[in-house]
């Protein structure tokens, strides 16, 4: 959709919040692959600690980026996009410190608005075309 088409959409129909997509399919969320990590607690923390007025947290069935599990993608909202922000794919989100860094960064505005924390930057990866397609599908379903 072009910017021109977005501008014509009534504001009440536009969801300008950033989106945090937490992969829980495939190897992400898998207790066998990641024993000892509480996947449910991580998702609950993300949902409980971010402002629902500025951020939607959704669970994905699979983003097909299993080599990087656990995967969390932060998609900028309107203000982040206007400032040049792009979706940030973060892999190996398997510890409390990285989850906390994500919560803090998203709370500060996320991509395009706030500087990526070091732990997010270290774990960020470039998604494949298939990964990006899966993300678009997940956001469309939520």
Would 3 be classed as within a structural domain?
no
Residue 52 within a domain: yes
How many structural domains is the chain composed of?
A: 1
CATH code for the domain in which residue 28 is found: 3.40.30.10
Q: Is residue 5 situated within a structural domain?
A: no
How does pLDDT run across 92-141, given as a tens digit for each residue? 999 999 999 999 999 999 999 999 999 999 999 998 888 888 888 777 76
**Domain-embedded: residue 50:** yes
What pTM was computed for the model? 0.84
Domain around 27? 16-141
- Output phi, psi for 110, to 5 deg: 70, -155
In a domain, 32, yes or no: yes
pLDDT band at 14 (very low <50, low <70, confident <90, very high): low
Q: In the chain, where does DSSP find H-type helix?
A: 3-8, 39-49, 78-82, 96-107, 118-123, 129-141
Does 56 fall in a domain? yes
């Amino acid at each position: 959709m072009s910017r021109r088409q977005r501008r014509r959409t009534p504001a009440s129909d536009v969801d300008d919040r950033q989106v945090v997509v937490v992969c829980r399919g495939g190897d992400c969320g898998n207790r066998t692959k990641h024993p000892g990590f509480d996947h449910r607690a991580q998702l609950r923390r993300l949902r409980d600690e971010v402002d629902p007025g500025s951020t939607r947290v959704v669970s994905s069935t699979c983003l097909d980026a299993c080599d990087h599990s656990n995967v969390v993608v932060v998609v900028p909202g309107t203000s982040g996009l206007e400032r040049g922000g792009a979706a940030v794919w973060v892999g190996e989100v398997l510890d409390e410190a990285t989850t906390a860094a994500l919560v803090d960064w998203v709370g500060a505005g996320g991509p395009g608005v706030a500087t990526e924390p070091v732990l997010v930057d270290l774990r960020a990866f470039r998604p494949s075309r298939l990964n990006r397609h899966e993300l678009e599908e997940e956001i469309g379903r939520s």
